[in-house]
Structure formats: structure tokens, C-alpha cells
Structure 1
Amino acid sequence: MKIQIGGKTIKYNSGRLISAIIGFVILSQVGEIMAGVLVAPTIVFLSDKNRTGRMTIQNPTNTPKEVFVGISFGLPQSDSLGNVTLVLQDSGVTDPRSAMNWVKAFPRKVIIPPNGSQIVRLAANPPPNLPDGEYWAQIVVRSQEGELTVPQANEAEKITTRLNMVMQTAIRLKYRTGKLVSELALTKATARLMNSKVLVMVDLANNGNVSYVGKMKCRLLDIDKKEISSNQVDLAVYRSLKRKIELDTEKGRVPYRVELTISNEGRNDIPPEAMIPGNKIEYAMKVE
């Protein structure tokens, strides 16, 4: 027998649970519900001047929620198609910019009552003589969503299993010390006409000592330099990253040129005092 839970298949054979994979959901916006729990803010900033911080977990439901808080490491990674994913590591981290081992969360386990909230405090204890720059970790919040009854395999076996649905979200943590430099390099860019869209692929490299946070904007122009369409995406470049952006075409107008701009402007989701100003990139290319 097979059943679907959270979009994943669970095999159920002869009354025994062979395997169960519970899907994890990564959320990035304040106010979105993660397993019935709200988490804010979505980024925590610590520094050599203020080594402590806090975040709030709210339970807006009518049932208690058991919540676990841990510290992991993970950076956005991209594949050859420009798709970006976040892979979390709990051990074996060798990145010199990892803060996972010296940032702690208190409390790490709590039961939040219905319509209640819990403040989680964060404290950094970095090693001595830490080089200038930004160090990273992910605050992982797991919440029990409740129990689900798995149907019995058949009437003869009379077996019923209950599963806890567990959801997960990751909140970015950045620790900053010393002189901070935000600098991004554009190493490659192409614009190709594919069916009814122009696909822009961009390779980026972080040459600073902090993550480069900003927006990438593209304008598609015709041969008369008149705009056909435009699009933009948020950027967060920690090491190197490949990003893609699609631009709509218009019947009767030949796409000729793409103008690309990358800057720190327009990120209203980050407090101005937390932004590290960086360089601006402007680039133009013909559509192939």
C-alpha cells in the first residue's frame, strides 16, 4: 500500500512501515506559517559590537506546538541551469566563514501554548583573532504539526500507525567583525532567445568579505532601443553563483539587446543599517 503525505510517498507493506520521508519546507518571508508557527525576523545580524540577538516564534493556532531550535550551516548553491537551492549541514563543515560551532540558541526546545509566543536568544562566542568579514550560520526551526493516522494494510492485520508531521524552516544568521567589504564580479553573461522568451544566464563571484545582497534587473530592448519587457530577481551571493532570469518577448518585435544592472538598491526586506554598500554592475549584451 502507498499513501501520500506532504507530497512524498510512504510505502506500507504487511503492516510494517518500510520508509517515511517527511517533506521540509523552507520559507523566507515574515508572516508565513511554518507548521502553524510564525518566525521573525528572517535574518539575524550579530557583530563584534553586539554578540547577542533574538528572534520570536509565535503559535497562532489553538493547539500547543513543540518547537526545536538548532544551528546548522548552509549557503545558496546553484546548478548549471541557474536553479538555486539551500543544503543544510549539521557536521563536517570546513568553510572558514562558518559560525555554526560558536553560535548558540536558548532555549533549544520549547512547547509554545496556543496563541502564545517564545523569544529565542542567540549568542556568539567567536574564536580569538577572527579575520575581518562576515560569518554565517542557519538557525533551523522545526515544529510538530500534529499526528496523522496511517491506514491499516488490510482488515486482517488490524495495524494502525500514527506519524508526526515535522516541518522545518531556516533563518539566516550573519556575524560581522572588523572592516567589511562588499564587492561582486560579473564573470560571464549570455542572453539567448528560446521559444517565446529570452533567457539570461549570469555567473557571479563574490570578491568581498561579506555576502553581496542586492537585486539583478534586466531590460529587453528591440533594435530601436525601445523596451520590450523587464524583470528582476533578488540576489544573495556568498561565494560564486549562477542566476537566471527570463524576459518576455512581444510578437512583431525582434529582441535585440539586454541591459543588465546589479546593485544593492531595492532590498526593502533588509533594514538600511544592516546593508553593506557594494559596487554597482552595468552590462549590455546582444541576444543570440
Structure 2
Amino acid sequence: MKIFNKIFYGVMFSLFFTNVFAFNIGIAPTGFYTSLDKNETHEIMVTNNTSESMRVEISSEAASEWENYNIGELIRIYPKSITIKPNGSRSVRFAVRGTKDLPDGEYKTKLVFKEVSGKKPQVMSQTVQNESGEDVAVNFELLTEVHMAAYGLKGKREVKGQLINSEIKKDKNGNVNLIANFSRSGNSGLAVVADIEYLDINKKRVGKQEVKIGITSRNATAKLERNLVEIPPSSKFIRISYKDKDGLKLGSKELSL
């Protein structure tokens, strides 16, 4: 029987949750929002959730759909590589250099925390058959890669937008996903918040919550998707009012669950 060894990176995307535990790595806080008008330093704590020492490499790269507004060159990371003791934590600092060279507006970069294979990586084995019917054992080294966002604002934030459409989609596991498309103009992305009312079969309110949907790109049109949890059991409809974090009303929609 042939044996193949593969490295599998479990990737966790994160945006402004208090903390996140992704496979072997814990991160807190998960990203930051910084001023580009002055120098600022931000600190992120990285935790090793395993019983073995771990090495993590930290870097930045352009975020998807923000390639023209990347601020990776303005961020100094130190240290760029850390070794963490079992169940221990270490801090990483991000020094952001203020600049006068950028136009006013919102910018972004993606921070990457990548676990580097050590002496005893976690291994998952699976046997499969190749085209000739021969058994092949595949060993996967389970490593963690965490992606998070760092946003920067130069000058004054100016943004306008409007809801284009919204819908509910359910996956095969019964998870309820709220999808919304927006038009946008200005020098920043829309930071969308939804005020949600849950309605029963008679359109009577049975629950209410405020949900942070996410931050759009600076493209003229943008799509956001968010999984909805803690839905009251008797809910048959939802009534959603979308707004930007600064209070700009974007539109509303009533949808069936």
C-alpha cells in the first residue's frame, strides 16, 4: 500500500470578533481599525491550544477586492515569527505608520497567522483507492492558518449606499444564511448592521436582534452574507432594516424563513 503525506491548512477567516479559536491557534482580538493620520501600535495575543510547542509566522497581504487600497507596506510586524510553549500565549505588535501621501478614505490589509509544521504535527489518516483499485494511505498534517482584517482610515470617512436586494438561503444542514447586495459610493466600504425582527405566522413579533453583517469592499456593488443564529422557533418571517454603522439607512426587506 502506498502512503502519501499531505499538509492540510485549516483556514479560519475572522473579522472583529472578540476572539477566535481556530484548530490549534487562539487569537484575540481578531483584527483592528487604525488611524492613518498618525502613528499607532496595535497588539494581538496568539495562544497555542495544543500540548506541543508551536511556531507561528505572521505576515500581511492584499485583501481580496481591496488590492488598490492595501496598506500592508505601512504596517511593521514584530516579531514576524514566534515560538509558543504548550498552552501558552505570546503577543505580536503591529506598528502602523501614519502618512500624508494617501487620499482620504478607508484602506485594508489581510493579516495571516500561519502555523509551521513542528516535530509532532497532528496527523489524520485516511485510506482511499486509486484508479487501479490499489489502496492508498493519505496522511494529512493538520495545521492552522488564520486570516483577519486590519482596516485603516485616512482623514474623514464618506460613504453612501443603498440596498439592492436581500434573500434567505438555507444549506443542507439547515443553517440559515442572510444575503444582501448593496450599491455603494464614496471613499469607504459600508459597515452594515441589520436590525432584525422575527415574526410568527400572523406577522406578530416574537424576537428582535441587532446583527453586524460585515464590511463591504469599495466596489460600486458589493455582496455580504451572514449566518443567522438564535432564531426563535416560532419564526416564519423576518423584517430587516439595514444601516451603515454611522446611521445611514440603506433599505429594508421582509423575507420568509
Length-normalised TM-score, structure 2: 0.69
Q: Is 1:20 equivalent to 2:6 in the alignment? A: yes
Determine if the alignment matches structure 1 residue 46 to structure 2 residue 37. no
**Whole-angstrom CA distance in 2 between matches of 1:244 and 1:36:** 25
Distance 1:59 1:207, change over 3 A: same
Pair 1:281-2:250 in alignment: yes
Question: 2:121 corresponds to which residue?
Answer: 147
d(CA) in 2 for partners of 1:224 and 1:94?
A: 44
Asked if 1 retains the 8 angstrom alpha-carbon contact of 2:190 and 2:215, the reply is yes
- Matched with 2:197 is 219
Offset, 1:197: 11
Task: Kindly indicate whether residue 241 of structure 2 is the aligned counterpart of residue 261 of structure 1.
Answer: yes
Q: Contact 1:46–1:176 at 8 Å: present in 2 too?
A: yes
Q: 1:145-187: CA deviations, max 9, x gaps?
A: 7425687x9xxxxxx9987532111121011110112443212
- Cα deviation, residue 123, structure 1: 2.3
> Which residue of 2 is the match for residue 237 of structure 1?
215
Q: Which protein is bigger by CA-based radius of gyration?
A: 1
CA deviations over 1:185-220 (Å, ceiling 9, x no partner): 21224679xxx9998653113334233324223435
Is the CA contact 1:67–1:143 (under 8 Å) kept in the aligned structure 2? Answer: yes
Question: As a proportion of its length, which structure holds more strand?
Answer: 2
Taking only aligned residues, the RMSD between alpha carbons, in angstroms, comes to 4.1
Identity of counterpart residues, as a percentage? 19
Give per-residue Cα distances to partners, 1:20-64, cap 9 Å, x unaligned.
250423153444433433211112222122333221223354431
What is the match of residue 156 of structure 1?
Answer: none
Change (3 A) 1:230 1:72: same
Q: Which amino acid aligns with 2:52?
A: T
Instruction: Give the direction of change, closer, same or farther, for the CA distance of 1:53–1:228 in structure 2 (3 Å limit).
Output: closer
Contact 2:196/2:209 (8 A) holds in 1: yes
**5+ unaligned residues in a row in structure 2: which ranges?**
128-136
> Is 1:137 the equivalent of 2:109?
yes
Moved more, 173-182 or 44-53: 44-53
Deviations 1:244-282 (A, max 9, x none): 77788969xxx7x75321235xxxxxxxxxxx6241234
Residue 33 of structure 1 aligns to a residue whose secondary structure is: strand
Is residue 2:70 matched to residue 1:98?
yes
Give the unaligned 5+ runs of structure 1.
Answer: 2-12, 76-92, 154-159, 265-275
Paired residues in the alignment total 232
- Aligned partner of 1:269 in structure 2 is none
Find the aligned partners of 1:226 and 1:150 in 2 and give their Cα distance.
49
Is this contact kept in 1: 2:11–2:147, CA < 8 A? no
Taking a change above 3 Å as real, the CA distance of residues 250 and 61 of structure 1, as seen in their structure-2 partners, is closer
Counterpart contact for 1:259–1:282, Cα < 8 Å: no
The aligned residue for residue 170 of structure 1 is 147
Counterpart CA distance in 2 for 1:225 and 1:165 is 47
Q: Contact conserved, 1:132 with 1:177, CA < 8 A, in 2?
A: yes
SS in structure 2 of the partner of residue 101 of structure 1: helix
Aligned to 1:204: 182
CA drift of 1:105 comes to 1.1
One of 57, 63, 67 as aligned partner of 1:68: 57
SS in 2 for 1:114: coil
Change (3 A) 1:110 1:213: same
Following the alignment from structure 2 to structure 1, what is the Cα–Cα distance between the partners of residues 27 and 177? 35
Paired with 2:186 and 2:86, the residues of 1 have a C-alpha distance of 45
The worse-fitting range, judged by mean Cα deviation, of 109-118 and 131-140 is 109-118
Change (3 A) 1:162 1:245: closer
Read off the aligned partner of 1:116 and give its amino acid letter: G
Q: Which residue of 2 aligns with 1:37?
A: 25
Change (3 A) 1:55 1:215: same
